[in-house]
Amino acid sequence: MGIGNLSLSEKITGAMKYASIKFQKRPVLMNLEVTKRCNARCDFCDYWKSKDKNELEDYLPIVQKINPLVLAITGGEPTLRRDLADIIKRIKDNMDTIYISMISHGYMLNEQKAQKLLDAGLDQICISVDYLGVRHEESRGLKGLWAHLDQLIPALGKMGFQNVALNTIIMNDNLDEIVPLVHKAKEWGVKVGFSSYTSLKVGNDTHYIDQARQKDLENVINQLLKLKRELKNIMSSDYYLENIPNYFSNRSLGDCQAGRDWVQVTPDGYIKHCSEFPIFTHYSEYNHKEVVSPDCDKCWYSCRGESQAPFSVQRVVELATTN
């Protein structure tokens, strides 16, 4: 999670808000599900089975209530919302110092749609890419996806999206492709951020990195830390990357602060600790001071790890200098 390609003054203001949020122990990040619907068929997610269309038109009151530094628009697949640009514009026009990103598989995006989102105030597009080539589209169940992304992603950078990023899940079956994906992102002229696989959503354990590959994982992480400084296109914090081997070694990592350092908001305005937990309140009743974090240690999602990164001068500098 980075503040990205903003002006120096905007980065300083963002870093100051980050510091204020950490001191107040409020959520740094708000994950906003604008829909549960999805047209992909990933085996690690079951959102595509949902037919629920109970979605709000206006999410501004929720964002104002929580007032995060970073708003991540997710789904489901957010580009299925025809009013997505309107949702973004209303939030951006009425909030001070908020950085809006969107996570999408990219299948339904084109340059015209992306320009509309850019004009509405979207700061970053994150495109989920877990494999190189047709293997990626096979994992998503979207024929022609790779060829589409191979054309789309470089084009987005050229049209004004200076903060396009790949969103890549580190797991057993793509471990050998992680470093090549960083180089592919550099070739495309975009960044890359990492998350770690968990089976919490659908109980699929096949993607976990087991003990037999622990040394391979540690080697990959060391390469990422090196490439972060050489290529300057890796957004993940050192703190997040360095904890990935510990997470996979134990299949757990304690002290989750879900619901406090970050929150998940459903399409109809309810609050969850995170995407894998049930609703615990309506947004109108949310009070960060009263939230009890769940007794869970089974994930190391980037939303958790980056939000929980210890407040330090190094972290503020990382946020303010992400290019």
Residue pLDDT, tens place only, 199-231: 888 788 999 999 999 999 999 999 999 999 999
- Assigned domain for 1 exists: no
pLDDT tens digits, residue range 286-315?
999 999 888 888 899 998 888 887 765 565
Burial degree of 289 (CB within 10 A; 0-12, 13-18, 19+):
exposed
Nearest partner of 71 among 106, 34, 107, judged by Cα: 34
Q: What is the mean pLDDT of each run of 10 residues along the chain (323 residues)?
A: 62 84 91 94 79 91 96 95 98 94 96 94 95 95 96 86 88 97 95 92 88 97 98 94 95 88 96 92 95 88 85 56 48
What CATH number did the domain enclosing 224 receive?
3.20.20.70
- Assigned domain for 112 exists: yes
Total structural domains in the chain? 1
Burial degree of 201 (CB within 10 A; 0-12, 13-18, 19+):
middle
Sign of CA dihedral 293, 217, 239, 68: negative
Q: What is the domain extent for residue 303? A: 8-321
Query: Is the model's pTM score more than 0.85?
Result: yes
- Assigned domain for 147 exists: yes
- Output the pLDDT for position 71: 96
- Assigned domain for 221 exists: yes
Encoding tokens for residue 71? 């708003």
Distance CA 293, CA 302 (A): 17
- Assigned domain for 3 exists: no
Q: Helix or strand or coil: residue 124? A: strand
- Assigned domain for 172 exists: yes
